[in-house]
Amino acid sequence: MQASTGCWTRWARTWPRRCGRWTASRRCSRAGRTPVTDFGERLVSRSDIARMAGVKRPAVTNWERRHTDFPTPVAPESGGPEPEAFRAGDVLTWLSGRTIPANALQPGEPAGTTYGDRFRAGLRGNRSGSLLSAVEQLAGRDAARFAGRLRMPDYLNLLLSLVFFQSHEDKRWARYVEDPAVALVDPDLDLPVEYDRLSLADVIRFLDRNPPASRDESRQAFDRLLSLLRDADARAADEFFTPPSVSRVMARSLAAQGPPARRLYDPFCRSGELLCAYLDAIAERGGDAPEEITGREPRKAALRLARMNVLLHGGRRPRLAPGPVRPEGDPPDPPGMFDAVLTNPPFGGGNVIVVGEEKPREPWHYARTHSPQFDWLQYVLSRLAPGGRAAVLMPSGASFQGGAERHVRAYLLENGALDCVMALPSQLFERTRIQTQIWFLRPPRGRAEQVLFVDGAGLGHMASRYRRSLSDDDVDRLVRAYASWHEARDSGRDHAGIPGLSRAVRPEEIVALDYRMDPPLLVHGDAPMEAADRDATTARDRLARLSKELGRLSARARAADSAVEERLRRYGL
């Protein structure tokens, strides 16, 4: 291959008198320079032609057999790398005269694209660093075309797998590119038989022509597809995913305490989002990734997502395996082992399936309850190593329910195992208005200690009609409220909390409330007049926010009306 002169060049078609057909050449933009050809003498095989032109291997043989003007192969003795190789320049010339049919165009190819355009792109090399834009295209404007009969969630799951294989499994990806039919029957993709093999081939080759510039770009593309999957399937969103902003609060709060965990655990890991959030939080702080990452998940589809997710986020050899829906089965992970535990266990008994007779009381039960979330809470506590920390997502009712739940709260308080209770806003989940809390735990110390209560119930904004989200500023406020309290305690300073947001509460005050642990109550006080004033203030703040939002929407509506009127005027209407 000749070296480039460094000048700007462009492709042009010329009409040489000697051969009577179009040829491809490069025309230099600087006067007096010699035209440059990058691959006129390069040799390619029939398989190379098929791969770079985006067709099946038999198509090349068919072209050669049916068209007498197809380039002549180079004789073996002329130095070709294999028998009957072809000069790339000759192949490009021939393919440039063949327009791709509309039904065979790949994503991003406009009408009129030739096989020569594809071949030229393949010869020049892939467009490294364009994976994100390719994913946006495949999952956006071209999604309906390439999803075929697949449901959108199934199509997005396919894209998630392909992005992962492209980044982490080179041999498998090479087989897919060489013969996309291999992917169609790959059990790891689990595609329905009715999925169009031509659509799959187009998607694979389009991704191959737009590889990531780095593992970080693959991670970003994967995260983007997970976000689209949450939006496409509300049921899957609630069952498989913890809201991203909640994951960040939980992970960053734990990451702010002491050195990075060597052993990380999520006993109900869903799609691995909490494990990944912790890996990201540690990376942001310049720490080392955990040496051991363990996760359990009862659903095969979620477990598969979790494995890909954790590997893309820098997890090293994660041990992710099936686990029970409820911890009565006592998952095979030893007690007292993990430095950091994060989990979002299933809420309520309606979603829990327990097979067989009731198990005998497990040693990690401090009180027999009928709510799986309290069983998980006790299980998590039993798995903490000395000095470990845990963050467990709980329904807000856990802070005031009576009966056995009250006994669990009493045990946690009196043994110094409860570190913090943080209230979150409602509507963070797609299909429910349930309000949640994060309970931060530490190994029992045998004595009651102060507990930090954080009231973030008034934070957040409506990200959609039905779902609320925490902004980056909201996440930072909540993490800072928890971290600043710990920093003060570690340095021997008093820290009562942040007015209006958090408050450190003595154990005797919680006992006086019969072990109620509701953050709004304990942060703002329980005097009737104060509560009434607080409710009025909250209502005024909400009305102010709604008024501001209404003004913004009204302005958008006026702008839309003006745009419509302008278009109508253009057409004389």
Answer whether 430's CB lies under 8 Å from 230's CB: yes
- Cα–Cα distances (Å) from 21 to 14, 89, 93, 97, 168, in that order, read 9, 14, 9, 9, 45
Dig out the tokens for 448 from the structure: 């009651």
In 3D space, the residue among 412, 415, 420, 489 whose CA is nearest the CA of residue 447 turns out to be 415
Residue 357 half-sphere exposure, CB side, CA atoms within 13 Å?
2
- Cα–Cα distances (Å) from 442 to 6, 333, 391, 517, 570, in that order, read 63, 18, 9, 17, 68
Answer whether 295's CB lies under 8 Å from 322's CB: no
Dig out the tokens for 94 from the structure: 């021939």
Give one DSSP letter per residue of 388-432, joined into a string: EEEEEEEEGGGGT--THHHHHHHHHHHTT-EEEEEE--S--STT-
pLDDT at 389: 97
Residue 103 half-sphere exposure, CB side, CA atoms within 13 Å?
3
Answer whether 468's CB lies under 8 Å from 462's CB: yes
Residue 32 half-sphere exposure, CB side, CA atoms within 13 Å?
0
According to DSSP, the residues that pair with 292 across neighbouring strands are: 263
Dig out the tokens for 138 from the structure: 């495949």
Distant-in-sequence, close-in-space partners of 91: CB < 8 Å, separation ≥ 6:
44, 49, 71, 119
Enumerate helices (H) and strands (E) in the chain, giving the number of each: 21, 15
pTM of the shown model: 0.71
Answer whether 380's CB lies under 8 Å from 390's CB: yes
Answer whether 297's CB lies under 8 Å from 303's CB: yes
Answer whether 418's CB lies under 8 Å from 439's CB: yes
Q: Which residue has the tokens 């590889």?
A: 211
In 3D space, the residue among 84, 81, 87, 94 whose CA is nearest the CA of residue 13 turns out to be 94
Dig out the tokens for 366 from the structure: 């401090």
CATH numbers and ranges of domains, the chain: 9-124 (no CATH), 131-230 (no CATH), 245-524 (3.40.50.150)
Dig out the tokens for 44 from the structure: 């390619």
- Sign of torsion over alpha carbons 227, 231, 232, 234: positive
Answer whether 225's CB lies under 8 Å from 139's CB: yes
Q: Which residue has the tokens 């926010």?
A: 545
DSSP E strand stretches across 4-123: 9-14, 23-28, 43-44, 86-87
How far apart CA 337 and CA 153 sit, in angstroms, is 37
Q: What letter represents residue 240's amino acid?
A: F
Q: What letter represents residue 107's amino acid?
A: P
529 CB neighbour count, 10 Å cutoff: 8
How far apart CA 265 and CA 292 sit, in angstroms, is 8
How far apart CA 151 and CA 195 sit, in angstroms, is 10
Q: Exposed/middle/buried for 10, CB within 10 Å: 0-12, 13-18, 19+?
A: exposed
Dig out the tokens for 97 from the structure: 């005269």
How far apart CA 249 and CA 480 sit, in angstroms, is 10
Mean pLDDT of successive 10-residue segments in the chain (573 residues)? 33 34 35 37 82 84 90 65 75 91 77 85 65 90 85 92 94 92 88 79 89 88 93 69 94 93 96 96 91 94 95 93 80 86 80 37 58 87 95 94 88 95 91 88 92 95 86 96 92 87 95 94 64 50 67 71 67 57
The three-class DSSP label of residue 502 is strand
pLDDT at 222: 96
Answer whether 429's CB lies under 8 Å from 238's CB: yes
Instruction: Provide the angle, in degrees to the nearest 10, between the axes of the packed helices 46-53 and 170-178.
Output: 90
H/E/C letters for each residue in 233-251? CHHHHHHHCCCHHHHHHHH
How far apart CA 566 and CA 559 sit, in angstroms, is 11
